[in-house]
């Protein structure tokens, strides 16, 4: 029976309050991987909506995981950056190729997520 209070979700003493048993893994890694995997699924299956579902699920998981520590504002900014990277990959693809564009924007998203979310989660900002 729940009393409505939430206990901190910590994997081990001294770990950051990032949800789940994976506090050592920065949110930037799964956020960037979500772009790459989403594109791979869309390319591999030929179903763009399936790739989009991967993107939505991955970004939602990252937001859920990071929100308790980084806060809504920082997570929202990281989500906006993810959307901008998704759009940017489509704009870059005709010039550099689809995969290079996806890898480039995934790197941009990773750096942005480190600065917006992970640095806050580890007390550096």
- Rounded Cα distance between 94 and 20, Å, is 39
Cα–Cα separations (whole angstroms), residue 36 to 3, 56, 95, 117: 41, 13, 18, 20
0.85 cut: is pTM over it?
A: no
The 10s digit of each residue's pLDDT in 75-123 is: 999 999 999 999 999 999 999 999 999 999 999 999 999 999 988 666 6
Judged against a pLDDT cut of 50, whether residue 26 lies above it is answered with yes
The 10s digit of each residue's pLDDT in 45-77 is: 999 999 999 999 999 999 999 988 889 999 999
Domain range summary for the chain, segments of one domain joined by +? 28-121
């Amino acid at each position: 029976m729940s009393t409505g209070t939430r206990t901190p979700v910590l994997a081990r003493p001294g770990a950051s309050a990032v949800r789940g048993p994976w506090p050592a893994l920065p949110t930037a890694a799964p956020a960037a991987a979500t772009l790459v995997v989403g594109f791979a699924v869309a390319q591999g299956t030929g179903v763009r909506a399936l790739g989009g579902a991967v993107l939505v699920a991955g970004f939602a998981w990252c937001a859920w995981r990071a929100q308790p520590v980084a806060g809504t504002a920082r997570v929202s900014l990281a989500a906006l950056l993810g959307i901008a990277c998704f759009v940017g990959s489509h704009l870059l693809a005709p010039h550099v190729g689809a995969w290079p564009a996806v890898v480039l924007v995934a790197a941009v998203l990773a750096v942005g997520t480190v600065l917006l979310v992970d640095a806050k989660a580890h007390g550096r900002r």
